[in-house]
Amino acid sequence: MKAVELRSFTKDGLVLAERAEPAIGPHEVKVRVRAVSLNYRDHMVASGMYGIPADALPLVPVSDGAGEVVAVGAGVSRFKVGDRVTSMMTRDFISGDLTPERQAAQNGGPLDGMLQEYAVLPEQALVAFPAHLSYEEAATLPIAALTAWNALTEGGAAPGRTVLLQGTGGVSLAALQLAKLFGARVIITTSKEERRARLLELGADVVLNYKTSTDLAGEILAATDGRGVDMVIEVTGLSGMQTSLSVLRQGGYIGFVGLLAGMGTAPDFTLPLLFKNARIRGVLTGSRDVYEDMLRAIGQHQLKPVVGEVFALADFQRAFERYQSSAVFGKVVIRLD
């Protein structure tokens, strides 16, 4: 079978290879992978930024995929041949709190991921997805959408609440769509004016251009009549915390989900944090129970994730390049058939 292997943490470290189809054991499921989607985590893994040891190579990258069950091992009860399923990033995170042991079992590094024609996974690490979704759409959900859903539910998204979203990456677009399911008001920022209309179509209430704004915090506060937002889904990292805290209402919530601006130092925000009586929580995807809650809501509302571009497996290098360019509105997907 065809599979992409990460052989080194270099520019040319990803290689299309031939592998034997993986064997299936008890309580395992073989999936014919139909589509995968790319996340910032996959870029970090491939670049050596995620802490994966070199002796774990070669490995199959990419956490998020969707496909069809083609075989089940002895004792499998959750699935049958023909079921359509997605992977989860954290295979053992079924319910409750994330633990170091659960966090260690991650798809796409250090364990083999989904960028291969066939994948064998424990039955507990797969989830069926709603019938109205295509494989490409379902493949976008395990990291970006689940992270957004987890942050929104933790922060108490509800009618009358205002959510601030940053940029138009995968988590932010998923959070926009999901926040509207909760009836929340959404303020979202972008640096690309041509995306304003698309964001409004997706349900955004206020769209602000952070590249042309001379006082972004002031514009955000003005959009809330000076009260401040109830919640921020923070995707930029520490460098964005000063602005996020300045526009947060007292007692508000910041879901810290990303570090797109890098991992450098940031000004001290101790006093704003204390004076705002703010709640800050790191959000790393979510459990299978939470994932299934989200999928039920997506199915009930017939929500369609935003797929930006779809590439063939042979063009996987170009897919990674397009993702890293941030030029695509919506998720970058690789189709495997």
Cis-peptide, bond into residue 122, ω within 30° of zero: no
Question: What is the distance, to the nearest Å, from the Cα of residue 232 to the centroid of all Cα atoms in its chain?
Answer: 16
pLDDT on residue 261: 54
Rounded Cα gap, residues 219 and 246, in angstroms: 12
Confidence of residue 263 (pLDDT cuts 50, 70, 90): low
Nearest to 260 by CA among 163, 144, 177: 144
More confident residue, 76 or 239: 76
Quick check: 19 and 7 in contact, CB under 8 A? no
The neighbouring-strand residues paired with 313 are none
> How many angstroms separate the CA atoms of 111 and 125, rounded?
12
pTM across the whole model: 0.95
pLDDT tens-digit readout, 91-132: 999 999 999 999 999 999 999 999 999 999 999 999 999 999
The tens digit of pLDDT for each residue in 148-197 reads: 999 999 999 999 999 999 999 999 999 999 999 999 999 999 999 999 99
Ordered by where they begin, the domains of the chain are 2-140+305-335 (3.90.180.10), 145-282 (3.40.50.720)
Q: At what angle do helices 170-181 and 146-155 cross, to 10 degrees?
A: 50
Mean pLDDT of 259-278: 74
Mean pLDDT, residues 221-249: 92
Tell the residue number behind the tokens 């000076």, with chain if given.
226
